[in-house]
Amino acid sequence: MARQRLRQDKLGAELRLGDDDLLIAGETPCFDGKKLRVVRMRVAQDGYAEVAAQDIACLPRSFWHWSDFLPQERVEELRRLLAAAKAALGLKIDKDPNGHYRLIDCRLGGRRKVLKMLYTKGVPQHDVPAFEAAWAAVVGLFPKAPV
If DSSP codes are grouped into helix, strand and coil, which group holds residue 22?
strand
The Cα 25–Cα 23 span in angstroms is 6
The reply to whether 28 falls in a domain is yes
Range of the domain at 64: 21-140
> Is 36 within 8 Å of 79 (Cβ atoms)?
no
Instruction: Report the relative pairing of strands 36-44 and 21-27 from DSSP bridges.
Output: antiparallel
CATH number of the domain to which 26 belongs: 3.30.1560.10
Asked whether residue 115 is domain-assigned, the answer is: yes
Per-residue tens of pLDDT for the chain, all 147 residues: 567 777 766 666 567 888 889 999 998 887 878 888 888 999 999 999 999 998 887 778 888 999 999 999 999 999 999 999 999 987 777 788 788 899 999 999 889 999 999 998 888 988 899 999 999 999 999 998 886
Examine residue 87 and state whether it is found in any structural domain, yes or no. Answer: yes
Q: Does a structural domain hold residue 126?
A: yes
Number of domains in the chain: 1
Q: Classify residue 1: in a domain, yes or no.
A: no
Sequence-ordered list of residues with C-beta below 8 angstroms from that of 68, at least 6 positions apart, any chain: 49, 50
Task: Indicate whether 8 belongs to any domain.
Answer: no
Does 93 fall in a domain? yes
Q: Is residue 29 part of a domain?
A: yes
